[in-house]
Amino acid sequence: MEFHFDRKEPGVWISAGTHVALLAFALFSVAAPALPEAQEGVPVEVITENQFSEITKGERQADKPMPNAQPRADRQAEKVEDREPENAKTDAPTAPKRTAEMKLANAEEMPLRAEPDPQEVAKAAKAAEEKREAEKAAAKAAEKAAEKAAADKAAAAEKAAAAKAEAKAAAKAEAEKREQLDKLIERQEAEAAAAAAKAEAKAKADAAKAEAAREAARKAAEAKAEAEAERQKEMAEAKAAHEKAEAAAKAEAAAKAKAKAMADAKAKADGEAKARKQAELADKFNAGDIRSMLASKAPSQSTGATGHTVQKVAALGAATGTAQRLSPSLRDALVGLLQQQIERCYSAPPGAAQGVVLPVLDIRLNPNGSLSTEPRIMRGGSSSVDQSIAQAALRAVRRCAPYNIPATYAPYYNDWKAINAEFEFTAT
């Protein structure tokens, strides 16, 4: 398991470093060599300078002076041929001359070498033996101390290893605990973030829902106001069309009455003039003159129409008489022309693009293209969408009147004055 150093929480690492330092100090303290034991004092003999000079000429570790001692030499000198000074290759050095200050050694002044005392020698041998025994005992004690130090060192090392393992286990447990705590904190933070996101999403959804409700209410109010305005406009248009139709009917009735009065007056005047003429002719009647006049004129090709009764006034035509009728192509062209004009005034209801059933309208027209009667729906479908489309088409028919009918259709008025056609409008 990896341990990551955290600057905010260095306690684990400081504790581990302190334990390691203490353990190292304990190991080095145990491994230090034991101090030498204090030894007893050795008797010192005072000698003269000459004795010291003689002692230093020989072996210091020798038990006694060697008789016939020679100066010490580490190696044998090569044989040198003695030559006379005049025959030597190099000049021999001149022997030093004795000065006045130099004195000769006096044999009397030199002390004689004393023979060693047997008791002293035995005592020295005994002391040396005791010293060797003491050194052996010291060596054994040092060996025991070393063994004890090694055992203590091993125990300390074992204890340090146990402490290190314990510290490692504690650090591992602390790391696991901290990791679990970090995971718990991360999970709590994630849950808090999720809850905040959920609350924010809910708030946004509620706000969007409220905004949609307000927008729907506004659109509904606008649609209602538009429908009310459309209804008022249709009512005004219907009223204006009704008034216009009434005015046209009144004008037409007045014109017909005037024409009838004029025709009656003219007929009356013509009848009176004819009566006066007949009276004059009766007064001047002469059968011979009439015979001669008739004889002088050629007989006419026709003597007039015959019937059950004599009718001097021209007929206006029967309602069921034979009149010119539209061909299918002309009728389709006229319906298409009317649909183009109606479609300019058509406004599709909100939410209805195209119905299932196309509306069939009954339109009654005057020769000038105006509506002779109110249009009506012959087929509008059963659904609300089809009904709304049919009503919108009916409003468009009223709004676009009067219609522009080409003069070529004037002779066929009796065939197109009542149009029952199916209309298909596009949504605008």
Q: What is the pLDDT of residue 365?
A: 92
- Tell me the helix, strand and coil percentages in the chain, rounded to 5: 60, 5, 40
What confidence tens digit (pLDDT) does each residue in 369-403 have? 999 999 998 888 788 888 888 888 899 999 998 99
**Most confidently predicted of 2-16, 200-214, 299-313:** 200-214
Q: What is the pLDDT of residue 306?
A: 44
Q: What is the mean pLDDT of the chain?
A: 75
Q: What is the pLDDT of residue 302?
A: 41
| Average of per-residue pLDDT across 326-355 | 82
Please, are residues 352 and 428 in contact by the beta-carbon 8 Å criterion? no
Q: Calculate ∠ Cα 378-379-381, nearest 5°.
A: 155
Q: What is the pLDDT of residue 130?
A: 86
| Average of per-residue pLDDT across 179-185 | 89
- Cβ count within 10 A of residue 277: 10
Q: What is the pLDDT of residue 281?
A: 59
Using a 10 angstrom Cβ sphere, with 0-12 exposed, 13-18 middle and 19 or more buried, the burial of residue 375 is buried
Tokens of 85: 């000074």
What confidence tens digit (pLDDT) does each residue in 215-234 have? 988 888 888 888 888 888 88
Helix (H), strand (E) at residue 421 = strand 418-422
Quick one: DSSP state of residue 313?
S
Residues 296, 264: Cα–Cα separation, whole Å = 36
Q: Who has greater pLDDT, 114 or 174?
A: 174
Please, are residues 347 and 392 in contact by the beta-carbon 8 Å criterion? yes
Q: What is the pLDDT of residue 248?
A: 74
Q: Who has greater pLDDT, 163 or 28?
A: 163
CATH number of 328-422: 3.30.1150.10
Residues 59, 64: Cα–Cα separation, whole Å = 9
Model-wide pTM > 0.75? no
Residue 142: which residues within 8 A CB-CB, separation 6 or more?
34
CA distances from 312 to 189, 258, 272, 315 (A): 112, 21, 15, 9
What residues pair up with 304 in beta bridges, in sequence order?
Answer: none
Q: What is the pLDDT of residue 295?
A: 54
Helix 11-31 with 118-283: angle, nearest 10 deg: 170
Q: What is the pLDDT of residue 313?
A: 43
The percentage of residues in the chain with a pLDDT greater than 90, rounded to a whole number, is 7
The percentage of residues in the chain with a pLDDT greater than 70, rounded to a whole number, is 66
Cα-trace Rg, the chain: 78
Residues 64, 45: Cα–Cα separation, whole Å = 15
Closest CA to 401 of 279, 242, 198: 242
Q: What is the pLDDT of residue 422?
A: 82
Helices (H), 8-87: 11-31, 49-57
Residues 280, 286: Cα–Cα separation, whole Å = 12
**273 pLDDT more than 80:** no
Q: How many helices (H) and strands (E) does the chain have?
A: 7, 3
CA distances from 62 to 75, 130, 425 (A): 20, 20, 146
What confidence tens digit (pLDDT) does each residue in 296-328 have? 544 444 444 444 444 444 444 444 455 678 888
Q: What is the pLDDT of residue 266?
A: 74
Q: What is the pLDDT of residue 304?
A: 44
Q: What is the domain partition of the chain in residue ranges?
A: 328-422
Q: Who has greater pLDDT, 363 or 32?
A: 363
